[in-house]
Structure 1
Amino acid sequence: MGIVIAGAGIGGLTAALSLHAAGFRDIAVYERVDTLRPLGVGINLLPHAVRELTELGFGERMAALGVAPGTLAYYNRHGQEIWSEPRGLAAGYHWPQLSVHRGGLQMELLAAVRERLGADAVRTGHRLVAAEPSGIARFHTAAGEVAVHAELIIGADGIHSALRRRHQPDEGAPVWNGLTLWRGTARSPGFLDGRTMIMAGDAQQKFVAYPIGDTVNFIAERRTTGPGAGDADWNRAVDPAPIVELFRDWRFPWLDVPGLLAAADEILEYPMVDRDPIDRWTYGRTTLLGDAAHPMYPNGSNGASQAILDARTLAYHLATAHSTDAALAAYENDRRPATTALVLSNRRQGPEQVMVLAHERAPDGFAHIHDVVSPEELTEIATGYKKAAGFHPDALNTRPSLSPPAANRSLDPLEAAS
């Protein structure tokens, strides 16, 4: 066995596709669930992630899944605009931003892996329980434990990663910040121009909404008190009535928030959790990727996008470095400091700091936003986050591709580099 990927989420599947595109052929993805289904709600793919999927040949397939927002706008809890900016192509990027259903994206990637790597490339019902730096992955299956020998093991197994736990045994549960999120979708006539993503509120309570297809995806959040997040894989349906009540006064001229919440088919509850950054992802021939490496708060809509960047960066270095060890070191050098900074920035609200500042300085509203937050402050927050997250248009549009040059590829690059 050449490369084992634990986890068939967005990061793991993109890693498989990226490695295949880079010339690797001995790749298998192991997934703990028996049947992969299109779970979840909406997510945003930022232009740096859309670039990577486009260069993998999925631009049209991804665009067909959702909506390309042209504007991102921030408001206070009274519906007053704080900051608005163009997004995607309208902001000068060479690639759009896409609002898609997470499950729909995962199913497209899954289908692509099976098309390109073979029908048996994804093996379900395999839960990673241990991985040795020497390259032995152990999986629990219905038939018992299975040991798989590999040249490289990639842990893309999420916030509860078994591979991460192997090297961080005392880390404990994910860190909860006291915010509870309720996610869902609802059929709605839309709001504003039909292509705007909105965020309204402050550090205590917030509402996010954007169109995906013919529905509106929303995230409602509220700071609560309680014993803690417990199991970070909540993903459970809850009664919408108490959530509607929390937002009963959030009726804006351009959006009826309680009405949208009441129209949802289902509302799912999640804790707002992440983990502290760690100082090492790679041990021998094992490394981490996506939420296993750097789970972060969803502020800034960067979780899935960063996993895609991880996958593409790892494949690039494995295909171009002089050895596997050098490739893993280069991957971690590129990605770990960047994602560490992003995790910490998201704990400070990321680009949503504009809402926090507006609330702190004018909790009852304002005559004009520039009376309480200067244009320079607003611009600095927005621009600084784009630079930190790797999607400032000037840098993204001009940086070299992460597709390895064909001349640097061999039939089995991993074996050649070892």
Structure 2
Amino acid sequence: MRVAVIGGGIGGLTTALSLHAAGIEVELFESVAELQPLGVGINLLPHAVRELTELGLGEALAKIGLPPQELIYVNRFGQEIWREQRGCAAGYLWPQISLHRGRLQLLLLETARARLGSARLHLGQRLMRVVAGAGSATAFFEKDAVTADVVIAADGIHSAARAQFFPQEGAPIWNHRILWRGVSHAAPFAGGRAMVMAGHQAQKFVCYPIAENDGVAEINWIAELSFAEGHPWRREDWNRSADLNDFLPAFADWRFGWLDVPALIGAATRVFEYPMVDRDPLPRWTFGRVTLLGDAAHPMYPIGSNGASQAILDARHIAYALATSTDIDAALAQYEAARRPATSQIVLANRGNGPEQVMQIAHERAPGGFNDIGAVIPRSELEEIAGRYKIMAGFDKETLNSRPSLTPPRAAG
């Protein structure tokens, strides 16, 4: 079997590594001529960390990221709504890891070069179209073409393959919110190993450390504002530099004593702007021997720390299916059956703010703040919201800790 993976992001690189580990011949094609450590911080949930650990990357991940010990939701006054332990502190067998997206991508790239060989990684190859046959598929690039038994399109939210199969879909859907993201060096906050989410649906601030050196934390943060219908927006691009004057004044009084939001924003050396967008869930991903993966299949709002984690799960599921089935078409159907309904649920749940809805509920019930959160939201309601999302997103502790490995027997042996 020969597989062509289109896209050198986190999903595509993890797919190539997983296929190679399963003994499947794979080549990867990426549109840019040189992959660079772009972006800001992301979180890998325990189910994604498990998969990368089983690929032999656990120790490397620990060196380039930090494991958050708890997640804290607060209102816009810094009053605590909900706090829960995360990762190993919560009883998972694998940690949650916060790290810089670019460092993760470079780790995956360097590992792919070492394991697959540089000759199987083709940069500067932008996908133009795919042709799906009964027993093979061909990917056409600007100058070249490649035919394989399977083509996996992991080419992002602007996927050329997805656009070909769904030509009427158009641009991603904007929800009238804009994110500003940056990384700042500052003193640790809330014990040094916490993720903090503050505010409500119309105005939110998120921050968490992704590295620490000599008592100074490298802190990833996201500021978010909602805008009225008709407000102009620009095409999403992680590399678009932002103007602090567009959003910092809205957070000028967000000083909680234990966290100074405007100071943290002001300490960033560079800030990026990104309209919050997604796409509607699809009725199918697979067309003959071509299938979609990651953001090409299920772009979602960055809520619940799920984007990169779900792409990693896609990668492991498709490699397992192809490695353990004698029928390629049945394997692709198995992959889609396992992943498409699950990720469709997450896309829709994230439109309703996912687990972050506790902040909106607190804002609606107590917009001026509170003395006792229990009088605003019963603890049982908070627990139910948190638990329901974990189950839906596939990282409830009991299921994850006990489920069988997605490493095929051949790779494990």
* Band the TM-score falls in, shorter-chain normalisation: over 0.9
Q: Within 5 A, what are the aligned runs for 1:224-303?
A: 224-225=227-228, 226-233=230-237, 235-303=239-307
Q: 1:228 to 1:21 in 2, by over 3 A?
A: farther
Q: Within 5 A, what are the aligned runs for 1:245-394?
A: 245-394=249-398
Give 1:207's aligned residue. Answer: 205
Using the alignment, how far apart are the partners of 2:385 and 2:296 within structure 1?
28
Cα deviation digits, residues 336-386 of structure 1 (max 9, x gap): 000000000000000001001000100000111111111111000000000
1:187 positional shift: 0.5
Using the alignment, how far apart are the partners of 1:96 and 1:110 within structure 2?
22
Cα deviation digits, residues 251-307 of structure 1 (max 9, x gap): 001100000001100110001000000010000000000000000001101000000
Q: Within 5 A, what are the aligned runs for 1:16-27?
A: 16-24=16-24, 26-27=25-26
CA contact (8 A) 2:23 2:411 kept: no
Using the alignment, how far apart are the partners of 2:170 and 2:358 within structure 1?
32
* SS of residue in 2 equivalent to 1:335: helix
Q: 1:228 to 1:5 in 2, by over 3 A?
A: farther
Q: Within 5 A, what are the aligned runs for 1:15-414?
A: 15-24=15-24, 26-134=25-133, 135-140=137-142, 145-214=143-212, 215-225=218-228, 226-233=230-237, 235-406=239-410
Q: 1:201 to 1:233 in 2, by over 3 A?
A: same
> Which residue identity does 1:321 align to in structure 2?
S
Structure 1 residue runs of 4 or more that deviate by more than 6 Å after TM superposition: none
RMSD: 1.3
1:191 positional shift: 0.5
Using the alignment, how far apart are the partners of 1:183 and 1:227 within structure 2?
20
Cα deviation digits, residues 39-80 of structure 1 (max 9, x gap): 000000000000000000000001111110000000000000
CA contact (8 A) 1:176 1:228 kept: no
CA contact (8 A) 2:355 2:386 kept: yes
Using the alignment, how far apart are the partners of 1:228 and 1:5 within structure 2?
35
Q: Percent identity?
A: 58
> Which residue identity does 2:75 align to in structure 1?
N
**Runs of 5+ consecutive residues of structure 2 not aligned to the other structure:** 213-217
1:406 positional shift: 2.0
TM-score (norm: length of structure 2):
0.96
Using the alignment, how far apart are the partners of 1:210 and 1:121 within structure 2?
36
TM-score (norm: length of structure 1):
0.95
> Which residue identity does 1:342 align to in structure 2?
I
1:235 positional shift: 3.0
**Runs of 5+ consecutive residues of structure 1 not aligned to the other structure:** 410-418
Aligned length: 404
